[in-house]
């Protein structure tokens, strides 16, 4: 087993122990062990063989034995017994916001063992009457159940992408495959996807589909036909076991361009593309573009667009939001145009990042080194402010110590600079968590909501608008507080917030944490129309998470953003000048 797989099992054990009401110290020992395993350098199997786990903090003798069992045999009887003793419904209930192991145990004791029973009990008012629950908790459970019903079994982009890329490389390696590409929502870079779609061309569809169905990560073959195979995959990504559907479609090489366009979608985009073909007396389907006499020869996707008098439309834009009109070569004069979308390499630094000063896992120096490895010109540090004690928010004294440490590090650097920022909490009434004289010592300020999510829409909107109007606030962080596939954002009128930001000259963050990805692409377009600079930030809490900025670029591209629309495509000198200008009283 890999490090990620072992860490995921140790995390599972911790959760299962909590569900059984075990001593919390015992459960925490497994969580700490999972974290330690995930952060180990090198190959775990080799470390086990050489006995190198003996002195690793967080891994005691019992854990060492269990890790060795998992690595050498792939099994752990203790884990199997725990899983068998806990109903699957109990684990599903943990996905609901505000429901922890203690509440799950209480529900089980009341005879509620799965989501269906829980919904029925809530609808009858039985949960509200239980000790420790009440009307508000019951309503939150019902809202959470509705949310789970909507998101279904969708998977985040950061989890689906590595699975899809590995599967794509495997398909490309099959004998007789000519070319293959990802398609569907993953190619369009949506925040989440329901399945992985791959289109390939080849000379022996039967052999290709059989090879696909025989992959080791395939847990079930759902369907196997002459041109399509549907399977269920199971893989571990970053310590989490992911189950996702995957479809492979095999076409001839002549059909490949049309098939790739069709299976990339979206459905609405395909409808508009077919209408454009029909307006010319042509037909378009998943296999060909036909002018009524013959199939028009296509070598690449761009050939299909060109035949319809369109500029090539990047997959991220194919959502039927005006991209076909913007790509139309026949419009004269053209009222719109396709944007030259921002690229990953355009990003020159990021601003919202955390260190061990608050709840980050890496030091200032480690984060700086990682940023330089990524080729950044600058890295902004924005640790949490004092009120967020759960994240070790910085007191004014610790702030000044950090600023001094940043100055000391900057004296060592050439061609790179650490910028001094903070993520200041927006308090319930819209005031900021630090006084103005302290905020003035930073190069920039990210203002974010972390508490009191239950305010009314009017209260939350006024709270955030007050903060974005503050003259020392540079940018608004994660604007809605949503966590993808886990909770909806708080109630807020984003249009009013964007208008306030536009009037105040405050930037808005595209938070690139894959659990957030907000502003979403719809509001990116709205922000751009208001002239608000967007800022792509990874909200990194470790060196590895700095790489999350690429998912923010995906959001920006889906939002029609060009390099000039994104603040951190600017040079260090331009960024520093803009911050000084922006923060003038």
Position 334 scores a pLDDT of: 65
Tens digit of each residue's pLDDT (9 = 90 or more) over 383-405: 999 999 988 999 999 999 999 99
Asked whether 517 and 511 are in contact (CB, 8 A), the reply is yes
Q: Where are the domains of the chain?
A: 3-151, 153-253, 264-334, 344-582
For 231, the 3-state DSSP assignment is strand
CA distances from residue 490 to 126, 235, 454, 460 in whole angstroms, order as listed: 27, 32, 7, 8
Position 299 scores a pLDDT of: 97
Phi-psi bin for 311: left (phi > 0), alpha (psi -120 to 50), beta? beta
Strands 192-193 and 155-156: antiparallel
Q: Beta strands of 431-559 (E only): which ranges?
A: 444-448, 475-476, 507-511, 534-537
- Smallest Cα–Cα separation from 39: which of 513, 549, 542? 542
Instruction: Please state which of the ranges 83-87, 210-214, 379-383, 402-406 shows the lowest mean pLDDT.
Output: 83-87
pTM of the model: 0.79
Quick one: pLDDT band at residue 575, thresholds 50, 70, 90? very high
Q: 197 preceded by cis ω (within 30°)?
A: no
Mean pLDDT, rounded, of the chain: 92
Domain 344-582 has CATH 3.50.50.60: no
Position 332 scores a pLDDT of: 58
Q: Which residue has the higher pLDDT, 485 or 196?
A: 196
Contacts of 353 (CB under 8 A, 6+ apart): 360, 367, 379, 380, 381, 382, 537, 538, 539, 540, 541, 546
Q: Beta strands of 216-271 (E only): which ranges?
A: 218-224, 228-237, 240-251
130 pLDDT more than 80 = yes
Report the percentage of the chain scoring pLDDT > 90: 66
Average of pLDDT values for 562-574?
A: 98
Tens digit of each residue's pLDDT (9 = 90 or more) over 329-365: 988 566 568 999 999 999 999 999 999 999 998 999 9
Quick one: pLDDT band at residue 151, thresholds 50, 70, 90? very low
Homologous superfamily, domain 264-334? DNA polymerase, thumb domain (3.30.210.10)
Tens digit of each residue's pLDDT (9 = 90 or more) over 37-54: 877 877 788 888 888 888
Homologous superfamily, domain 3-151? DNA polymerase beta, N-terminal domain-like (1.10.150.110)
In whole angstroms, what is the distance from residue 122 CA to residue 214 CA? 44
In whole angstroms, what is the distance from residue 163 CA to residue 169 CA? 10
Distance of CA 375 to the CA centre of its chain: 22
Quick one: pLDDT band at residue 91, thresholds 50, 70, 90? confident
Options 3.40.50.2000, 2.130.10.10, 1.10.150.650, 3.30.460.10; CATH of 153-253: 3.30.460.10
Q: Which residue has the higher pLDDT, 485 or 307?
A: 307
């Amino acid at each position: 087993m890999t490090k990620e797989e072992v860490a995921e099992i140790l995390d599972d054990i911790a959760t299962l122990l909590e569900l059984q009401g075990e001593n919390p110290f015992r459960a925490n020992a497994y969580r700490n062990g999972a974290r330690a395993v995930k952060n180990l350098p090198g190959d775990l199997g080799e470390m086990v063989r050489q006995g190198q786990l003996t002195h690793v903090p967080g891994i005691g003798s019992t854990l060492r034995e269990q890790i060795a069992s998992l690595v050498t045999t792939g099994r752990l009887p203790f884990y199997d017994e725990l899983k068998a003793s806990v109903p699957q419904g109990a684990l599903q209930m943990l996905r609901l916001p505000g429901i922890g192991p203690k509440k799950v145990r209480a529900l089980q004791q009341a005879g509620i063992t799965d989501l269906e029973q829980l919904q029925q009990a809530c609808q009858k008012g039985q949960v509200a009457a239980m000790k420790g629950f009440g009307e508000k908790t019951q309503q939150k459970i019902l809202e959470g159940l509705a949310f789970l019903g909507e998101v279904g079994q969708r998977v985040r982009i950061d989890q689906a992408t590595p699975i899809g890329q590995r599967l794509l490389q495997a398909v490309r390696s099959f004998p007789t495959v000519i070319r293959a590409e990802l398609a569907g929502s993953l190619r369009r870079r949506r925040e989440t996807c329901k399945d992985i779609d791959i289109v390939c061309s080849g000379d022996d569809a039967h052999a290709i589909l059989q090879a696909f169905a025989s992959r080791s990560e395939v847990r079930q073959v759902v369907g196997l036909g002459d041109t399509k195979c549907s399977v269920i995959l199971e893989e571990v990504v970053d310590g989490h076991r992911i189950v996702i559907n995957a479809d492979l479609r095999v076409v001839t090489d002549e059909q490949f361009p049309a098939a790739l366009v069709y299976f990339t979608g979206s459905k609405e985009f395909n409808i508009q593309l077919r209408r454009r073909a029909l307006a010319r007396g042509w037909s378009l389907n998943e296999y060909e573009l036909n002018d009524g006499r013959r199939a028009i020869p296509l070598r690449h996707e761009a050939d299909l667009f060109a035949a319809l008098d369109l500029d090539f439309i990047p997959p991220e834009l194919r959502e039927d939001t005006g991209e076909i009109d913007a790509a139309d070569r026949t419009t004269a004069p053209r009222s719109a145009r396709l944007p030259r979308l921002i690229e990953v390499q355009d990003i020159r630094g990021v601003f919202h990042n955390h260190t061990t000063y608050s709840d980050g896992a890496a030091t200032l120096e480690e984060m700086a080194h990682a940023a330089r490895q990524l080729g950044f010109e600058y890295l902004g540090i924005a640790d949490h402010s004092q009120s967020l004690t759960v994240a070790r928010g910085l007191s004014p004294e610790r702030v000044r110590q950090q600023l001094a440490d940043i100055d000391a590090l900057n004296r060592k650097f050439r061609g790179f600079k650490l910028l001094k920022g903070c993520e200041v909490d927006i308090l319930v009434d819209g005031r900021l968590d630090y006084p103005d004289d302290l905020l003035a010592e930073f190069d920039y300020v990210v203002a974010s909501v972390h508490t009191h999510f239950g305010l009314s829409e009017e209260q939350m909107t006024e709270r955030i608008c007050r903060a974005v109007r503050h003259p020392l606030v540079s940018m608004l962080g994660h604007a809605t507080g949503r966590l993808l596939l886990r909770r909806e954002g708080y109630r807020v009128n984003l249009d009013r917030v964007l208008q306030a930001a536009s009037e105040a000259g405050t930037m808005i963050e595209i938070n690139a944490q894959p659990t957030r990805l907000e502003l979403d692409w719809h509001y990116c377009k709205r922000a751009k129309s208001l002239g608000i600079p967007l800022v792509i930030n990874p909200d990194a809490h470790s060196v590895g998470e700095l790489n999350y900025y690429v998912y923010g670029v995906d959001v920006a591209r889906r939002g029609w953003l060009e390099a000039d629309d994104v603040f951190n495509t600017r040079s260090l000198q331009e960024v520093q000048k803009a911050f000084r200008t922006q923060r003038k009283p």
